[in-house]
Structure 1
């Protein structure tokens, strides 16, 4: 009995180009060549993932067609940073939003670049946290942590510094 041979690759027509979503292709073959060369380009807002040129010879494509993946622009995060800082991201890339000290994430901390080029879930915000139990704090270092806005903390620190300086001047005069 003859040994079984591997199944042959399916015969493909080099005149039928593999199509791709969110992109287009064109035949860039040389006029005198027996090889078909197809170049792929993506629509605006998408980027080629894979080889942009593929060839077909003897009814066999050299590679699968590339894909066009969506691009997401860097999200603007006030009072926070991103775990990966780039100008643009390719689907399905994810990033984590990290808020500055004193700020809390409002929304989902992890966001993913989706197929339509939009962050999902929506880009969160970093909001100043008014900590519970702070209403009765009037003096001491905890006072500064309990003010509702960063500008209030800055003003309170300036006033506190001035009061210390006035106190030192008073001691010198007496």
Structure 2
């Protein structure tokens, strides 16, 4: 019986190309998409006409998208997933984040807010980058020095300069002690010369 002449067709079977008609056509399911910071593993069964790939990410990265995709007749069921970086929660003394979590995903933005009485030094918004660091660099919250607070000379000014009542109490006690020591230094020693 003479071979049939019709448009060329190809079919993937058992990981090899089986040509039913000529000329040969490449099977697109044999090579699955490669992803950055992760890898894919062919999970296809031996007798299946469908290629199934399962993806996993390297340590420090999280999978975004479908963990398994399949291909049949040269068509993938979905795009390959992505492995996105994870950034650790930044530690900011005297400040907090707009969204508090243990880890943040690549491209996620957070806003830093300083506690009352503290000024921000650096950018207010930071983003988790692909190399698992914050970009730009994490800002700091530094104590805001009010005008007139640099040389605190009287206890009544302390309330304006110190944010915590316990700090005010301690400063007042130290100020009182300093005055007593100063007063003692002015007194003449007891039991002078006879």
Query: Shorter-chain TM-score: what band?
Result: 0.7 to 0.9
Normalized against structure 2, the TM-score is what? 0.68
Higher alpha-carbon Rg: 2
In the aligned structure 2, how far is the partner of 1:106 from the partner of 1:151? 26
Q: Structure with the greater relative contact order (CA < 8 A, sep ≥ 6): 1 or 2?
A: 1
Decide whether aligned partners of structure 1 residues 71 and 20 sit closer, same or farther in structure 2, where only a CA change above 3 A counts: same
Decide whether aligned partners of structure 1 residues 115 and 151 sit closer, same or farther in structure 2, where only a CA change above 3 A counts: farther
1:37 is matched with 52
Unpaired stretches in structure 2, ≥5 consecutive residues:
1-25, 176-194
1:96 is matched with 111
1:48 paired to 2:63: yes
1:74 to 70, 83, 89: 89
How many residues in Structure 1 have an aligned counterpart in Structure 2?
149
- The DSSP-based 3-state class of the residue aligned with 1:14 is helix
In the aligned structure 2, how far is the partner of 1:125 from the partner of 1:54? 44
Whether the 8 Å CA contact 1:128–1:149 is kept in 2: the answer is: no
User: Shift of residue 154 of structure 1?
Assistant: 4.4
In the aligned structure 2, how far is the partner of 1:29 from the partner of 1:100? 55
In the aligned structure 2, how far is the partner of 1:45 from the partner of 1:53? 20
1:164 is matched with none
Decide whether aligned partners of structure 1 residues 154 and 36 sit closer, same or farther in structure 2, where only a CA change above 3 A counts: farther
- The DSSP-based 3-state class of the residue aligned with 2:28 is coil
In the aligned structure 2, how far is the partner of 1:120 from the partner of 1:153? 37
1:103-127, CA deviations, whole angstroms, 9 ceiling, x for partnerless residues? 1111111110011110011111111
2:126 is matched with 111
- The DSSP-based 3-state class of the residue aligned with 1:153 is helix
In the aligned structure 2, how far is the partner of 1:114 from the partner of 1:32? 43
Whether the 8 Å CA contact 1:144–1:156 is kept in 2: the answer is: no
Whether the 8 Å CA contact 1:128–1:150 is kept in 2: the answer is: no
User: Shift of residue 150 of structure 1?
Assistant: 8.5
In the aligned structure 2, how far is the partner of 1:130 from the partner of 1:92? 35
Whether the 8 Å CA contact 2:155–2:172 is kept in 1: the answer is: no
1:2-24, CA deviations, whole angstroms, 9 ceiling, x for partnerless residues? xxxxxxxxx96100111111111
Unpaired stretches in structure 1, ≥5 consecutive residues:
1-10, 161-174
In the aligned structure 1, how far is the partner of 2:27 from the partner of 2:115? 57
